[in-house]
């Protein structure tokens, strides 16, 4: 699925149509990869701002195929790949990393009116470049690497599950 314009890393993963498409394919038993190109000042001015994805996409997918990294479990593995906001020649390699979290990114909601006078709310995302922890997708992209994150559709907070089950079983 993709290549998406803009990153689908960190919390953006949760509401990404590109990632959702790959997840649905995985749930149907297909090998799936979501591809997204981080945008920033270093690639926005390029004739092809998708240069990093174009230069490294095939190699990244081939590496995943050669690693035979997919599983046959009920929640099959799929991969979220984010290319850094760099020219293709500046990409430093590939890193397999966890999904990050940009702690200080906040959304704003602005009321607007359509040309027909209908009121709607415009949800605006915050900055996409705040740092995340090392070993995460955004951090890898900021360091110049293609970020590959293995994912599954199961969003259960397993660390909270047992305690809450015990508490609510009355």
Q: Does domain 4-102+128-168 have CATH number 3.40.50.620?
A: no
Are 120 and 114 within 8 A, CB to CB? yes
Are 80 and 2 within 8 A, CB to CB? no
pLDDT in tens, 121-132: 887 766 555 667
What are the extents of the domains in the chain?
A: 4-102+128-168
pLDDT in tens, 29-79: 999 999 999 998 899 889 999 999 999 999 999 999 999 888 777 778 999
Task: Provide the whole-model pTM.
Answer: 0.85
Confidence of residue 103 (pLDDT cuts 50, 70, 90): confident
């Amino acid at each position: 699925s993709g290549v998406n314009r803009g990153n689908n890393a960190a919390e953006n993963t949760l509401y990404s149509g590109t990632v959702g498409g790959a997840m649905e394919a995985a749930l149907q038993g297909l090998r799936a990869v979501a591809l997204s190109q981080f945008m920033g000042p270093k690639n926005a001015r390029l004739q092809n701002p998708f240069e990093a994805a174009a230069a490294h996409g095939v190699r990244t997918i081939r590496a995943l195929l050669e690693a035979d990294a997919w599983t046959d479990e009920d929640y099959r593995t799929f991969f979220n790949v984010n290319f850094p906001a760099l020219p293709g020649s500046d990409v430093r390699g590939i890193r397999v990393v966890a999904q990050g979290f940009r702690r200080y990114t906040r959304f704003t909601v602005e009321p607007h009116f359509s040309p027909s006078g209908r009121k709607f709310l415009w949800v605006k995302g915050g900055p996409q470049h705040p740092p995340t922890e090392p070993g995460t997708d955004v951090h890898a992209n900021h360091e110049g690497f293609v970020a590959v994150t293995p994912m599954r559709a199961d969003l259960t907070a397993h660390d909270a599950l047992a305690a809450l089950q015990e508490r609510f079983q009355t």
